[in-house]
């Protein structure tokens, strides 16, 4: 389905806050509630909006996020299918993707300690180690999600939400966790429906959600898009830096955040220092963006590698 300007405006509003009402969105985009409701339903029915999601600040639970990049050897389609199915069965694995380029697969592990990560990797390697020729482990320090500026490039608005940092322990009881699980699965879930599923009064659900939002446990309400239906290529760039002091990094982050096709930026510890996630129309577009960044920061960027994410097989935004 081709997106017209109203579709793009509605998506841009939902990208900033997917819990906004149709009436609020209508006011923001200069339309009416019935039209917005119809357009939103059409975007869901067509599969363009693949998920209403709540992004949770996992460091509040004491979890770090560790990515593992894999290159296969001696595999066939069946063996790779077994590998991905096994990762899907592990609750501590939050994201799994197939890729083209330097790596064949990547996944994220929710880790409460170095030892918990070791146990997860030991299970995976004991079962599939002979099919893995190479791997890299990358620790995410913090990451920034930016609004999808390519939807309305003429607006020039840049909004971002930062995640990560030093893990802590927020006091959340089982009721809070039940509510979070419902919102992670569907950020537009009505509080009355959550009330029925959790057994809590609706006003109690509302109060708990407000408290978790104010504490930063719920960092953002957003949307997942079906890239295939939009003709978008999901790419990742891995940047190696040198002479990167705090001031220079802030300048680089600001530059990347203003790039319309940069969707996320992650500070890492590993073989590279920075990861960018880009939603582009062609791989050549990603290369042009990276060339702009390199030209703007020639003394800081040593080089970069990139991959194309061909398929996302698991997206679990909550570690518990």
Secondary structure (DSSP) of 31-73:
S-HHHHHHHHHHHHHTTSEEEEEEEE-GGGGT-EEEEEEEEE-
Q: What is the pLDDT of residues 138-194, one digit of tens each?
A: 999 999 999 999 999 988 889 999 888 788 877 888 999 999 999 999 999 999 999
* Same CATH fold assignment for domains 59-140 and 171-216: no
What pLDDT does 164 receive? 85
Distance of CA 86 to the CA centre of its chain: 22
Across 31-42, average pLDDT = 97
Fold designation for 171-216: Arc Repressor Mutant, subunit A (1.10.10)
d(CA 64, CA 33): 41
Give the model's confidence band at 320: pLDDT under 50 very low, under 70 low, under 90 confident, else very high: low
Residue ranges per structural domain of the chain: 59-140, 171-216
Fold designation for 59-140: Alpha-Beta Plaits (3.30.70)
d(CA 14, CA 50): 13
Q: Are 312 and 93 in contact (CB under 8 A)?
A: no
Q: Are 147 and 9 in contact (CB under 8 A)?
A: no
d(CA 166, CA 112): 12
Those residues whose C-beta lies under 8 Å from the C-beta of residue 316, and which sit 6 or more positions away, are 91, 93, 94, 95
Q: What is the pLDDT of residues 43-58, one digit of tens each?
A: 999 999 999 999 999 8
What pLDDT does 48 receive? 97
| Exposure of 302 in the CB half-sphere (CA atoms within 13 A) | 11
Residue 42 has pLDDT above 90, yes or no: yes
Task: State the residue for tokens 């982050």.
Answer: 253
Q: Are 277 and 144 in contact (CB under 8 A)?
A: no
d(CA 63, CA 55): 14
Q: Strand pairing partners for 301? A: 241
């Amino acid at each position: 389905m081709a997106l017209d300007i109203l579709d793009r405006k509605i998506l841009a509003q939902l990208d900033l806050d997917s819990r906004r009402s149709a009436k609020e969105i209508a006011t923001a985009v200069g339309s009416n509630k019935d039209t917005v409701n119809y357009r939103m339903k059409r975007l869901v029915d067509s599969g363009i909006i693949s998920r209403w999601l709540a992004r949770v600040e996992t460091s509040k639970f004491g979890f770090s996020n560790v990515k593992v990049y894999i290159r296969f050897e001696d595999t066939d389609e069946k063996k790779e299918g077994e590998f991905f199915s096994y990762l899907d069965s592990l609750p501590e694995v939050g994201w799994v993707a197939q890729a083209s380029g330097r790596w064949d697969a990547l996944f994220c592990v929710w880790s409460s300690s170095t030892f918990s990560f070791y146990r997860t990797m030991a299970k995976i390697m004991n079962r599939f180690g002979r099919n893995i020729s190479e791997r890299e482990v990358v620790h995410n320090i913090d990451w920034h999600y930016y609004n999808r500026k390519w939807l309305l490039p003429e607006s020039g608005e840049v909004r971002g939400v930062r995640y990560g940092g030093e893990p802590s322990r927020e006091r959340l009881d089982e009721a809070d966790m039940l509510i979070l699980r419902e919102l992670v699965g569907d950020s537009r879930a009505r509080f009355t429906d959550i009330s029925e599923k959790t057994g809590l009064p609706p006003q109690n659900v509302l109060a708990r959600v407000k408290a978790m939002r104010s504490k930063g446990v719920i960092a953002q309400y957003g949307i997942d898009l079906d890239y295939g239906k939009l003709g978008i290529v999901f790419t990742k760039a891995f940047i190696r830096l040198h002479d990167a002091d705090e001031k220079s990094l802030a300048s680089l982050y600001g530059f990347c955040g203003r790039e319309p096709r940069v969707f996320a930026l992650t500070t890492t510890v590993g073989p590279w220092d920075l990861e960018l996630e880009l939603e582009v129309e062609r791989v050549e577009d990603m290369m042009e963006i990276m060339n702009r960044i390199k030209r703007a920061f020639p003394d800081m960027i040593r080089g970069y590698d990139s991959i194309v994410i061909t398929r996302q097989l698991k997206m679990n935004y909550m570690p518990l």
